[in-house]
Amino acid sequence: GHNNNDGQLNASHGSIFPLYSTISNPNEIVKESRGKSSQAKANSKTKSSNSKAKNKKHQIDNSKQGKPYKLVIVESPSKCKTLSKLLHTYATNHALPYTFQVDSCMGHVRDLPQSVKDVPPSLRHLYTPTVLGINFNDNRYEPLYVLPTDRQRATVKRLQQLSSDDDCVGVILATDEDREGEAIAWHLSCLLQEDHEKEEKAMERVTFHEITPRAIEHAFFGHNDNLNPDHNDNHENSSSTLPPRRQVDMDLVTAQETRRVLDRLAGYTISPLLWKKIAPGLSAGRVQSVGMSLVVQRERERMAFRNSEYWDLQGSFSTDKHATSNTFRATLQELNGVRLASGKDFDGSTGELLHDKKVHHLTDQDAQQLLTILDTEDSTWKIQSVTSKKRSNKPPAPFTTSTLQQESNKRLGFSVSDTMRFAQTLYEAGYITYMRTDSTHLSQDALDAIQEQVTEEYGNENLASIDPNQRYSKSKPKIKTKSKGATNTTIPEVKSQEAHEAIRPSLIHGNAFVSPSSLSTSSSSSQNLPQAAMKLYQLIYSRTLASYMADRIVNITSVFLEGTSSDETTTAIFRASGTVEVFAGYSKAWGATNTNTNTTLSHSNTTQSLPSFPPNDSETITYLHCSNLDAIPHKTEPPPRYTEASFVKELESLGVGRPSTYASVVQTLRNRAYVGSPVSSSSSSSQGRRRGSSWKGDKGGGGGGVAISAVRAAGGEEFMGAASGPMVPSLSAFVVCSLLEKHCPSYVDPGFTARMEERLDRIAQGTSIGEQSRDDLRVSYLDEYYGGDEGLAALVEKMDKEVSAEEARRANLPSFQSQIKNREGEDDDEIGLFIGPWGPYVQRIESTTSSQTSQTPTTHEKGDTKPKVTAALPQGLAADPSSLTVDMLVMLLKSREKDGILLGTHPSDGRSIRWKLGRYGAYLQWGEAGDENTTNHSVPKKLGGLGGRNINLPNSEAGSTSMTAVMPDITLEEAVGYVNLPREVCYIQDLPVTAAIGPYGPYLKYNNTFVSLLEKDGDVLTIDPETATQVVTDGIINKSSKLARNVLAELGEKNGSQIRIKDGRFGVYMNWKKVNVKIPKEYLDNPSEIPLEEAWNLISEKADTSSKNSTSKNRKKNKTGQEIALPPAPKRPKSAYLYFCAEKRPLVAQKMKTLGEVSKELARLWAETAQDETGGGREPYEKMAAVEKEEYEIKKQEWTEECNKVLKDKGGKSKSSSKLSPTTKKTAKTATKTNGKRSPSAYMIFCSENRERTKGTNGEKLSFGDIAKKLGQMWKECDEETRSLYQSKAEKLKQ
C-alpha cells in the first residue's frame, strides 16, 4: 500500500499480498467460496436508507437524517460504545460538518481457508495440493485469503454498504496498533478500496494506545506538520485541524503474513502426520511445539532426578541463659573448618556429591553424633564475627504484556488467557492503555500523573529521583538461547512494538488516573466490569505507581557463632541472619518482593530480629547460651514444574514467540491435552478438577476448544486440572516431543525458533539484508524453513516413510529405563508404554538377541508368531506420568494375561472373586469368565487403584515379590462385601433403604429414589442405620437433597433463599435456588470468605444469562431488528415404549439391583410383547401413544397459527412451524415423520445377512471391531452381480 497524492490508501495487488490471487473483486470470492456465481459491485450496494436501517445497532445515531459521516472501523464491538461517545461529543462541540459512525470488523475479516470447500473451485489446483491456502508456484508461498465464515461475510458486506453510502465521506481504519491490527487494516483497505477509488473517498489509518478524550482527540484531530500543505479536504473547516494520517505499515503487514504463512506451513505439514501415526486431535505448531518440549524436558529432569538426604543442626541462642526474649535461631555452616554440604552440592542425576566439591556431607548418624557432642553444658558458644550492610531493592519496571501475565498468575491466580481477557475488557472500557506491548516506556503525561499521585498518596519522600524511562532504558536486554549441541549464546533483542507505551492506567480525569477505590463504586456498575477485572486494574495501578517510587532499603545483618565441644576437638560455625527495613520506598505500593524472583517475601529465618552485638574490632568476647539444639533433615528437590507464570517468563527469556501470542500458546497446549494440572500433582486439592466449561475454548485464544480425542489419548479427563496449578506434560506430549526431537530436532529447538523470531522482527522493522526486497526477504525466510533437503517438508516426508505407527506411539519415560534394567526374573520381555486413539496402553514385546530394540512379534522356527500382550491403562492412572512405575505396568499385563488377579473365593458358593481392570477403572468379577452366573461389580474409586496394602493372595497369583507394592488396594473381605451389594441397611415406613454402588459412586436407594452417599456419611459397606436414616430423610423424604446435601457453608439470604457453598462432582460451587455459579479463583482456598454482595452479583449475572438463553429459542426478530417473543411449543407426545416403561418400572425395580439392569429388563420385556398374539401385547400402549399424538398434532397446528399471528402483528415474517426455532424445528420434524427409522442401505442388509459368517469354522468370538473389519473386507470382495442384488433389496425397502 502507498499514499497517493490525495492522501488515500491504495492496496497492493502484487505477488506479495495477492487479493484472492487473480480475483480482483472481493464480492466475487464471497460468493464463489460458497459455490455461487459472482455478482457485480453495483448489485452488492443498497440505497442509503436501507443501509442505515439494517445497520442501526452498529452505528452512532445522527442528530440529523442524511448528515455526512466518516466510518470508523475498530476491531471489537465493545470498543465502539466508548469510542463513539468521545467522537460524537467532539463533533458536536466543534460543530464539524460531518459526524462519525463507529462499527466493528470483529477481528480478522479475512484469513487462510480452513477447508477445501472455502477455496473457489477455479483455484483449488493452485491452493490445495500441498498445504491448504498456499500457492507453491515458483516457490513464492503466495497465500489465499478468503471469507470463510458467514459472520465474516456478513461483516464485510455491512462495512461495504456503510462505506459506499452516499453520506459516507471517508473511512478511518482505527484497528489496534500492533502487528495483527496493522494486518487487519490492510485487509479492510483491500476490501473497501474499489469503492473509494471511484468515488474519491478518503481512507485514513489512525492508531491510539488508550481510549481517553485526550488520546482520541490527538489521534483523530491533532496537528500534524508533516501533512501535505496542498491537500484540500472539502469537509474540513481549516487545514490546522486536519487529523494525522499515515499509510498502512507494509513492513508490519509483511511480518504478520510471513508469520501466518509460517504457522500454516508448520501446522498443516506435521499435524496430519501426528493424526496418522499417533492419534487424532493432536497438533504441532512453530511456537507451541517448542513450548511443549520445554515442559517435557523439565519433567524429564524431574523423573531422572535422584533425591539426596543431608542434615544440619539448628539451635536457639541468647546472651542471657534465662532470657525469654532476644533469642534467635542459627544454622550450622561449617564443621572443623569444612563447609557443610547443601542441596547445590549434589548431582541430581545420581544423588551423589559432586566430585569437585570439598564439603562435609552430614548424614543422619553423623548429625545425631554431633548433637551428642555439642548439646552439653560444657560446650562453649561465642560470637565470631558480625557483618552488616545495606541493600537497595529497585522498584519493578512498568508492566509489559509478559510481566503482566506473570504477576497476575502469581498474585491473583489468573491464567494467562484470563489475564488477557480481563485486560481487553479494561482497555475497551477506557481504563488502561493497550495491553499488547514489549515496551516499558511511559509518556511524559503519564510520568506527570504518576508523580502527582505518588506525592499525594505516599508523600514526596517516596518519589524516585529519576523516572522509569531513564532507569529502564540504559541497556538493552539479551535473549538467551538453548541450541542443542552448542553453547548458550545471546541474541540482541529486536523489539517490534517498542513504540508502544507500557501497560498503565489511562489518563481519564484530566491528567490523573482513576483510583481503584473509585473504580469499584459507581464507575464499575456503569461499565459492568467483573470483579476480576477490577483486581487486575488494582495490580496495574500499583505497579505503575511503584515504578516511579524510591528504592526499598533494608539492612541485612549476619552473625557467625563459634561452638566448641568440651574436649575442644570439634568446632562448629553457625550462622544467623536478620533483615530490618530502613526505608519502605516502593514497597508501600507494591509490597516487599525478592528482587531475584519478584515474588512477595515470606517470613523465614532471614527476616528474624537480631539483638545488638559489639562490632568486630571490639576486644570484648560475647558468649552465648544455646538451647533447643536439633538435628534437621533435608532432601534435595527436583527442579519445580512450570506454572503459567514461570512458563511465560521462560519463553520470553529464550526469545520464543512474542508476549502477545503466549496466551494462545498456553491455551492450545491445554486444549490439545499436551499440558494439564491433574489433582494428583502438587496443585492445591481444593481447586478440584478443571470445570468442563473451561475446556470449551477460552476467549483468550487457543483455537476452538479442547480436542476430546487428544484428552482421551492423554489418559482421560483426570488429566484436566486448574490453570493455576503446575503444568504437567501428558503421555502424548512425551510421545510427540520424542518423535520431533529424533526426526525434526530444529522444530523443537528454542535457539532455532528464537533466531527465526528475530528475523521476523527485522522484517517488521523494514531491515533489509543486502539488496533483498521485502518480498525476497519473506520468500527466502519461508524457503529456508520449509523447502530444501533439510526443510520441514522433506523431514516430514522422510518421517512418514521411515517411522512406523508403533514406534511413533511409544512413550520413552526416563524413569522407566533404570527400572527395566534392574528387573529380574522377567525373561527377555520388554515392557512398552504407548498411546493411541483410545488412550494409553501397555504392551509386552518379546525381544530377540539379534535385535534388542525390535518392537515386532518374534517369528519362531515353526513359523508361529508369539502374540503381543496388551492392556489398556484405566482412566486417571496416566494423569501424572511421573507416578507410573514399571511394576504397575507389569501388574496390568499380568491382570490381562491371567484374566485378572484372583483375590480368593466367596465363602457362600466357592466361586472365585477376581480384581480386574477395564477401560473405566477397576472392578470385581464374581465367577469365572464364560459362566452363566458370572457378574461384574463396581468398587469405589479410592479402592480401585494400585495401592500399597499387603494382602493375602493365592500362591499361584502372587508372582514376583516386587509386585507387593502395587497390588490391588482391596482385601478379600471387602471384595465379598462389594459383590454382595446391594445390601439392606434399615427400614423407613416399612420400605427398605439399600446401599449400593453405581456409575457415579456409592448411593442409597429408598422408594425408587436415589441419593449419593458421601465419604463423610460413611462407607457403603459399614454405614449404620442411624446415619442412613438421616441421609435419606434429608436427601429424599424432605426433598432437600439439592439444597441441604453437600453444603459446606451458607453466605446469607437473598430474596428469601440462602446462598450456599456446595461440593459437587466437579468441585466447589455456589448455589442459590436452581442457579449454580463456579467459585472465583481467588476464593478457592476458602470459599466461605466470599462477600455476600459479590456472590449475589455473580448469581444475578448468571441468572440473567440463563434467562436470556432459555427464552431466546422461541424468539424471532422483525424487520427493524426487535425481538418477538413466541408462545412455547407443545410438549412432544410419549411413545408406546415410554408408556410401557412407566407402568412396568416399579415392579422391575424391586427385582433388579442397578439402573442398568432395570433398563435391560424393560427392553427384554418390551421385546417379548411383540410375540404376544393374545391382544395383551403392545396394542394398549400403542393406542395410548396414538391418542396423545393425535392431540399433539392438533395443539401443534394451533400453536403454529398462533405464532404466525404474533409474527404478523409484530411485523415479522410468517413461517412454517419447522422454522420457528431450533427446538420447535426438531419437534415438528420428528412429529411429521411418516416412515419412522431410515431404511437400511445395501451394505447394512449385507451385514445383517452375513454377520454369522464372520465367526469362522471354530466359532471363536470376535470383537465388534474385528467383525466390522471382516464384513468390510467381504463387501469389497463381492462382485457386481451380488452388490446389485443387495441394492435392489435396499430400493424395495426404501419404497
Give the cell for residue 802: 521411515
Q: Please give the Cα distance from 420 to 427 (Å, whole number).
A: 10
Q: Please give the Cα distance from 379 to 315 (Å, whole number).
A: 13
Give the cell for residue 243: 487529523
Tally of CB atoms within 10 A around 393: 16
Chain mean position to CA 259: 23
Which residue among the candidates 20, 141, 310, 434 is catalytic per the annotation? 434
Q: Please give the Cα distance from 820 to 822 (Å, whole number).
A: 5
Give the cell for residue 541: 495501578
DSSP-based three-state secondary structure for 1032: helix
Residues 995 and 982 sit within 8 Å (Cβ to Cβ): yes
Chain mean position to CA 620: 64
One-letter amino acid identity for 721?
A: G
Q: Cis bond leading into 940, ω under 30°?
A: no
Pinpoint the alpha helices (H) of 164-249: 179-199, 213-221
Q: CA geometry: angle at 678 spanning 672 and 679, to 5°? A: 160
Residue recorded with cell 557432642: 373
Let me know if 1137 is exposed, middle or buried by CB neighbors in 10 A (0-12, 13-18, 19+): middle
Tally of CB atoms within 10 A around 947: 15
Which residue from 301, 291, 289 is spatially nearest to 744, judged by alpha carbons?
289
DSSP for 472-506 reads HSSS--EEEE--TTS--EEEE---SSTTSPPB-B-
Mode of pairing for the β-strands spanning 168-173 and 69-74 = parallel
Residues 492 and 431 sit within 8 Å (Cβ to Cβ): no
- Taken as a whole, the chain contains a residue count of 1295
Cβ neighbours of residue 252 under 8 Å, at least 6 residues apart?
Answer: 179, 182, 183, 496, 764
- Classify 716 in phi/psi space as left (phi over 0), alpha (psi -120 to 50) or beta: left
Q: Could you tell me the sign of the dihedral formed by the alpha carbons of 1042, 1044, 1049, 1051, in that order?
A: positive
Q: CA geometry: angle at 927 spanning 926 and 932, to 5°? A: 115
DSSP for 630-661 reads EEEEEE--PPPPPPHHHHHHHHHHHT-S-HHH
Residue 859 DSSP one-character state: B
One-letter amino acid identity for 207?
A: T
- Classify 1054 in phi/psi space as left (phi over 0), alpha (psi -120 to 50) or beta: beta
Q: CA geometry: angle at 1078 spanning 1074 and 1080, to 5°? A: 140
Give the cell for residue 315: 539451635
Known active-site residue 623:
no
Positions marked active-site: 434
